[in-house]
Structure 1
Amino acid sequence: MTHRKLLPAVITGIVTALPFALLVGCSDPGPAEEAGESVDETMEEAQEQFDDAVEATKEAAEDAAESVSDMVDEPGPAEEAGREVDDAAEEVEETAEELKED
């Protein structure tokens, strides 16, 4: 037999065996897949921790601003400090949103 006559038989064999090979190969995750899953889990945990930190910072800033506002009847340095805390909290929130989009 010549190579040209063998080629269709080889292609047919490969096409026939490929689905079985894929099924067998997909049954157990390999090291690369396990590493990928580990990275995904780590990223999800980091995102959750980051979100929690942003929320805690925002709440602390709001509480601080409210406390300052409660202590001062007239606008003054304390109210200005509270406004700066509010601005900082908003910047943190905006940065968090930008990081989520990336």
Structure 2
Amino acid sequence: MNKVRRRAYGYDPETAEPSVDYNLAGIQLRDSIREERFRELFAEGHRWYDIVRWGIVEEEVMKYNDFRVTQGMIIYDDKDYYYPVPIQEIDNNPNMTPSTGYE
């Protein structure tokens, strides 16, 4: 992560730069990596998949809803963590049932 930050600030990625390098561990490091990933990949379509994979959809939605400006509230549901079983699969297999929440 420090290499990415150094490059973004115009420093040599291979040389330590105390003014931009992180020196963290544990939960602080995890949260910093998540935020750095958000900054680095902004508007590239990765954010939703990241927060679903990390299991923090509700937390992130609530954070957005607290600071919403013009787009209105995001409504979160537990089924947002997974996709529905395709209807063709359900039609082709009598033992298959729809995903919870997608009935």
Bin the TM-score by the shorter chain: under 0.3
TM-score w.r.t. the length of structure 2 is: 0.23
User: By percentage of residues, which structure has more helix?
Assistant: 1
Query: Radius of gyration: which is bigger?
Result: 1
TM-score w.r.t. the length of structure 1 is: 0.23
